[in-house]
Amino acid sequence: MVWGLLSTQVVAMELARETEITMPRFFGSGMVLQRDRPIPLWGKGQPGAQIQAGFVGQPDTVTRVDDAGRWRLRLPAQATGSAKQLQIRMGQGSEAKSLIFDDVLMGEVWLSSGQSNMWWPMRQIAEPQLDPRFVNLPNVRMLQTPRVGATLPAEDLADARIDPRVEGQWQAATSNALPKMSAVPFYFAQALQQALEVPVGIIVSAYGGTSITQWLAQPEPAVVMPGFGDKGGAGALYNGMLAPYAGLPIQGVLWYQGESSLALRHHYAQLQLKLVEQFRADWQQKDLPFFLVQLAPYKTDRKWAELSQAQLEAYRMGEHMGLVITNDLGGSDIHPSRKQEVGLRLVRWALKEVYGQSELLATGPLVRDIQPEGQALRIAFDFVGVGLQSKDQQPLRCWEVAGEAGAFVPAQAYIDGKSVLVRAESVERPVRVRLAFDGAAEHNLINSEALPASPFQYHLADLASTIEQE
């Protein structure tokens, strides 16, 4: 009797769900949709039912729910303009079920991901949190993804685990919402909105203490590993925090991760490129811009420098990518407080690579070529601008050279236009050179925009065939 009653209740609940129209939670009032591109909408409903969707004042687009209870359609592209109301209806007449989303903006949509330095909220940084410029920005909006992994690719976001007033719904940048917003994505969105004068929406899908492997899709269901809790094992965060968004139009991806992947540092460049290709496949955009943030100095540990080098190599090997250098933003905290500079440097890449400001100097000096010159090495750089400089007008520091078989020794370095000459009296024929390569070193080589050079370690043969990028 009890079993029969419970079975009846379960069937009734399933039937009730079938007669409703539902959509993933990231479709909602206050959302920002990518302008100037067709807008895909999808969800669930009663099999065979008619679905009508459109912005108020525009013709509807019509489809039907398939036999599996799913529907999908595409609305015409929309230009930037005033806020719109979006209506989705299932069925007709008095029996119709509706979803209504108010205050929908058309603008630029970006997705940011990684670990704690990407998630880190405004309230936990040392910078002024309520600068008058930032307290009421209705055209800057953020969607923070609930931090939960899954064993299989999820169709929707998990329930909010930290604060349902923040996670899983679009928030405008107001004085109440700002302290809880992730700092790097906020500063990026705020600066981009100011530069373009259009609405900017940014999706934050980041989780502290996570490895790049947890963000990579796996061919098999993710295995929840003991001690990881909601983070799960390899593939779990891709399943729970990225997969639901696949296909939602975005303009590009921002990635800030690496601290939890030190054990993978010798493979990290390949894993990073695999992640880039994963995003491009999921969003069916082979040239999707992907901008990396390099690790900042933290501790004297060669592993830290080798991971930073791997990030540099991923950028060098990839296409339509950017690299934000943070050698001047570190310190003794694994969570450096100067998040605004990181956001602004990401915006440089966006403006240059996506929004047509090709003359903009996007990053700090990156090694283009190394040539022997007597007992010295001449290192030529891209992204120099007018010329190289010493940040503090002091002699260049943190340089080392080595012969073919010898150990690295400290070296003297001198600026010569867009090159640096490096030598050490004790090394007659240097073939290897490195800059700030101990994990905590902060050098003083900058370009004309005061952006720091990337730390590096190279052998002459490593750069035998390079292409100027500036």
- Domains identified in the chain and CATH numbers: 18-104 (2.60.40.10), 106-353 (3.40.50.1110), 366-463 (2.60.40)
pLDDT at 130: 53
DSSP-H helix ranges across 130-267:
183-196, 236-237
85 bridge partner residues: none
Q: Judge if pTM exceeds 0.85.
A: yes
How many beta carbons lie within 10 A of that of residue 395, not counting itself?
12
- How many helices (H) and strands (E) are present in the chain, helices listed first? 7, 23
Rounded Cα gap, residues 30 and 33, in angstroms: 10
Q: Which of 307, 345, 310 is nearest to 325 (CA)?
A: 345
Rounded Cα gap, residues 73 and 222, in angstroms: 30
Q: Which of 54, 130, 110 is nearest to 249 (CA)?
A: 110
Phi and psi at 350, nearest 5°, equal -60, -45
**pLDDT per position in the chain (470 positions), as tens?**
444 444 444 444 444 455 799 999 999 999 999 999 999 999 999 999 999 999 999 999 999 999 999 999 999 999 999 999 999 999 988 789 999 999 999 999 999 999 999 999 998 885 555 566 667 899 999 999 999 999 999 999 998 776 776 788 999 999 889 989 999 999 999 999 999 999 999 999 999 999 999 999 988 887 666 556 778 899 999 999 999 999 999 999 999 999 999 999 999 999 999 999 999 999 999 999 999 999 999 988 899 999 999 999 999 999 999 999 999 998 778 999 899 999 999 999 999 999 999 999 999 999 999 999 999 999 999 999 999 999 999 999 999 999 999 899 999 999 998 999 999 999 999 999 999 998 888 999 999 999 999 999 999 988 754 433 43
Write the CA distances from 467 to 293, 307, 316, integer angstroms: 22, 23, 10
